[in-house]
Structure 1
Amino acid sequence: MTETIADIKAALTTIGSSDARLELWAQDSRKGVRQLVERYQRQQIKLQAKIEHFHHRFDFEQRYWENGYTNIAGIDEVGRGPLAGPVVAAAVILKHDFNLIDVIDSKQLSAHQRLELDQKIRQQALAIGIAQVDADVIDQVNIYQASRQAMLLAVQQLNPQPQALLIDAMQIDSPLAQESLIKGDARSNSIAAASIIAKVSRDQLMADYAKKYPGYGFEHNAGYGTAEHLAAIKQQGICPIHRRTFAPIKDWIATP
Structure 2
Amino acid sequence: MLEHPAAAPPLSSAGVLIAGVDEAGRGPLAGPLAVAAVILDSTRPISGLNDSKKLSAAKREALYPQIIERALAWCVILIEPDEIDRLNIFQATMTGMSRAVVGLTPAAHEALIDGNKLPKDLPCAGRAIVGGDALEPSISAASILAKVSRDRLMVAMDALHPGYGFAVHKGYPTPAHLAALQQLGPCPQHRRSFAPVRLLLDQARLF
- TM-score, scaled relative to structure 1: 0.72
CA distance in 2, matches of 1:97, 1:91: 19
Corresponding residue to 1:130 among 76, 95, 98: 76
CA distance in 2, matches of 1:69, 1:145: 32
Report how many residues are paired.
189
Note if contact 1:164-1:178 (Cα within 8 Å) is conserved in structure 2.
Answer: yes
AA partner of residue 118 (structure 2): Q
Q: 1:214 maps to which residue?
A: 162
Note if contact 1:92-1:127 (Cα within 8 Å) is conserved in structure 2.
Answer: yes
Q: 1:171 maps to which residue?
A: 118
- Moved >4 Å (runs of 4+): none
AA partner of residue 32 (structure 2): P
Q: 2:91 maps to which residue?
A: 145
Identity %: 46
Larger Rg: 1
Using CA pairs under 8 Å that are at least 6 residues apart, name the structure with larger relative contact order, 1 or 2.
2
Show the 5 A alignment for 1:26-41: none
Show the 5 A alignment for 1:25-104: 70-104=16-50
- TM-score, scaled relative to structure 2: 0.88
Note if contact 1:69-1:164 (Cα within 8 Å) is conserved in structure 2.
Answer: no
| Structure 2: stretches of 5+ with no match in the other structure | 1-13
CA distance in 1, matches of 2:15, 2:142: 19
Note if contact 2:102-2:123 (Cα within 8 Å) is conserved in structure 1.
Answer: no
CA distance in 1, matches of 2:201, 2:132: 37
CA distance in 2, matches of 1:93, 1:203: 22
Question: Is the helix fraction higher in 1 or 2?
Answer: 1
Q: CA deviation at 1:231?
A: 1.2
Structure 1 position 159 matched with structure 2 position 105: yes
| Structure 1: stretches of 5+ with no match in the other structure | 1-67
Over the residues paired in the alignment, what is the CA RMSD in angstroms?
1.1
CA distance in 1, matches of 2:22, 2:131: 10
